[in-house]
Structure 1
Amino acid sequence: MDNQLVSSVSGFSTVDLKLKGFKVYEIETAVSPVPKYSRRDFYKICMISGKTLIHYADKGIELDGTFLFFANPHIPYSSEVLCEAQTGYACLFTEEFLKTHDRSESLQQSPLFKLGGTPLFLLGNDQKEFITTIFNKMLLEQNTDYVYKDELIRNYIHLIIHEALKLEPSANFFKHKNASSRITSLFLELLERQFPIESHERPLLLKTAQDYAAQLSVHVNHLNRSVREVTGKSTTTLITERIIIEAKALLQHTDWSIGDIAYGLGFEYPTHFNNYFKKVTGTVPKSIRA
């Protein structure tokens, strides 16, 4: 669906998007076949009306109505239109465009964009009307010569983000209160940056708690204590869970051989990957592909 929508936008160019840092467009599409599962280069916020099936990481979520969807380029996703027609708006942007200074928190740590966060929100009529107004303002503004256009568009994007954050349960919010929170946030961001695996010829390099501790210049015991204090899980468990999510995505949505997937995820031999996968999931990789 995304490829179809993007190609239908007048004058759309990924090169142009990379130069400007953002692109806003209107969605109008009919029922389409299942799109090819792919990784993208930009963050995306879209408001869609219509029955839709979203494939996000290793999950599928079916929605009917009007909803907001927040897509992270580091987490694979695709969508299927399940109704006669789908309408809405979308905005693509780079992290560099939205972040105004280096100390801004990474979007990958946002409750809306991070793995395991909440990327989908059903909207009521008032929320739909409000966000529609914002998208229309962005559509009008992106073609003007206003000298502060980037700042204005950035503010509009933040308005949509904050409208969604108000819908997010407060228990899911996370603020750094101490050193443990900070080191855990750095670890989770570094973990997410290892993915997606784009080629089995460039395998995963950081695979253990020791690897991550070395990259973060902290003692592994300090990292392990901090991560468990904040998340309730061990560093190794979080690494394992992320590798399994990536493994499932590669098994379900690529034509790579299991051997190539194993090597891409840092396993020297397919048998090691098979044993690892079965120990964690209780099933073998081949069963996921089937």
Structure 2
Amino acid sequence: MENIKQRPVSEFNNELKLKGFNVFQIEQDGAATRVYSRKDFYKICLTTGKSKIHYSDRSFETEGTVLFFGNPHIPYSWETLSTSYVGYTCLFSEAFLNAAERTESLQHSPLFRIGGTPILNISEQQREFLNTLFQRMIEEQKADYSFKDDLMRNYINLIIHEALKLQPSENYNQQKNAAGRITSVFLELLERQFPIESAERPLQLKTAQDYAASLNMHVNYLNRAVKQVTGKPTTTHITERIITEAKALLQHTDWNISEIAYALGFEYPTYFNNFFKRITGTNPRALRIEAV
């Protein structure tokens, strides 16, 4: 579904990260499953066609025109069921939208939060109006207007406000195997925290409680689901992934131990050293020396 005509994916990603915004038209596509995994970007899609959207622990059957709001903190996949699937997509970072000093986090919006209503059924009249907004964004994106960023924020906010006035889709089914779906969402969210690319952007989700809060569920519910499906506690999965990342940073970067500790969410290097030795049986400095 997410084909960018005559533009390499790497070029598109670089431009997106530079500007924090992009809007484009969805081309016709055959039946396929697309899994979106960008860590930093929110998504608004206006699409016409038949599809199934898996979002958190729910699956939405859609036909006709829908408006979809994707949160980068919530794993989701999109399965197109019709051979013709058209519309528009807008991608933007929270930093881009909040440059105008908005105070409320997008994650608290009913359109973007995990227990919210990310899919809205759109009438033909509403589709024509929203089409116009997306088309205007595409045209303005090409222009040299000095205040283009502000104009794009206005368009995004207008779409959000239009959506807040609409009724959410009720055509969804709870996953039959709720534990399996919750576990899948948790594991994908865990993997999305990595790799750590900068010591200035430390790991945000460090505990089972952090993940449960991000997924808008009680930590006991998350723990039961993950243990039932994988046989291992939530904390064990988190610990193993942090250790894997720590080894990679020790062996493949020139960051000092303090920088690595901070990047992985440890307040003090001593805490990181004790954690690493307890899990691996050796200390971080010894592993780095071995790598050299």
Q: Shorter-normalised TM-score: what interval? A: 0.5 to 0.7
1:197 aligns with 2:197: no
* 2:21 aligned residue: 22
Query: 1:111 aligns to what SS in structure 2?
Result: coil
Deviations 1:22-50 (A, max 9, x none): 00000013223323464543100010000
Deviations 1:75-113 (A, max 9, x none): 001111111210000100000010135561000000100
* 2:176 aligned residue: none
Quickly say closer, same or farther: Cα 1:133–1:36, change in 2 above 3 A: closer
Q: Which amino acid aligns with 1:197?
A: L
Quickly say closer, same or farther: Cα 1:37–1:131, change in 2 above 3 A: closer
Contact 2:46–2:89 (CA under 8 A) maintained in structure 1: yes
- Stretch deviating more after TM superposition (136-145 or 33-42): 33-42
Quickly say closer, same or farther: Cα 1:208–1:35, change in 2 above 3 A: closer
Q: Which amino acid aligns with 1:130?
A: F
Contact 1:200–1:261 (CA under 8 A) maintained in structure 2: no
Aligned residue-pair number? 212
Return the alpha-carbon distance in structure 2 between the equivalents of residues 166 and 137 of structure 1. Answer: 21
Q: Which amino acid aligns with 1:196?
A: L
* 1:143 aligned residue: 142
Return the alpha-carbon distance in structure 1 between the equivalents of residues 17 and 94 of structure 2. Answer: 11
Return the alpha-carbon distance in structure 1 between the equivalents of residues 204 and 159 of structure 2. Answer: 37
* 2:236 aligned residue: 263
Return the alpha-carbon distance in structure 1 between the equivalents of residues 19 and 33 of structure 2. Answer: 30
Which runs of no fewer than 5 residues in structure 2 stay unpaired? Answer: 169-186, 196-202, 241-292
**In the TM superposition, what are the counterparts of 1:32-51 in structure 2 within 5 Å?**
32-36=31-35, 38=37, 40-51=39-50
Between structure 1 and structure 2, the one with the greater Rg is: 2
Quickly say closer, same or farther: Cα 1:244–1:126, change in 2 above 3 A: farther
Query: 1:112 aligns to what SS in structure 2?
Result: coil
Return the alpha-carbon distance in structure 1 between the equivalents of residues 17 and 166 of structure 2. Answer: 31
Return the alpha-carbon distance in structure 1 between the equivalents of residues 235 and 116 of structure 2. Answer: 27
TM-score (norm 1): 0.62
* 2:76 aligned residue: 77
Which runs of no fewer than 5 residues in structure 1 stay unpaired? Answer: 170-193, 213-226, 228-235, 252-256, 268-290
User: Which of these residues, 5, 10, 23, is aligned with residue 8 of structure 1?
Assistant: 5
Contact 1:48–1:89 (CA under 8 A) maintained in structure 2: yes
Q: Which amino acid aligns with 2:165?
A: K
- Stretch deviating more after TM superposition (84-93 or 99-108): 99-108
Quickly say closer, same or farther: Cα 1:241–1:164, change in 2 above 3 A: farther
Q: What's the C-alpha RMSD, in Å, of the aligned pairs?
A: 3.8
Return the alpha-carbon distance in structure 1 between the equivalents of residues 204 and 103 of structure 2. Answer: 30
**In the TM superposition, what are the counterparts of 1:82-93 in structure 2 within 5 Å?**
82-93=81-92
* 1:288 aligned residue: none
State percent identity of aligned pairs.
44
Q: Which amino acid aligns with 2:111?
A: L
Contact 2:223–2:234 (CA under 8 A) maintained in structure 1: no
**In the TM superposition, what are the counterparts of 1:1-290 in structure 2 within 5 Å?**
1-2=1-2, 5=3, 7-8=4-5, 10=7, 13-36=12-35, 38=37, 40-101=39-100, 104-168=103-167, 196-198=189-191, 205-208=206-209, 238-241=218-221, 247=226, 259=232, 263-265=236-238
CA positional deviation for 1:126: 1.1
Q: Which amino acid aligns with 1:8?
A: K
Contact 2:207–2:235 (CA under 8 A) maintained in structure 1: no
Quickly say closer, same or farther: Cα 1:44–1:242, change in 2 above 3 A: farther
Q: Which amino acid aligns with 2:149?
A: D
Return the alpha-carbon distance in structure 1 between the equivalents of residues 238 and 194 of structure 2. Answer: 8
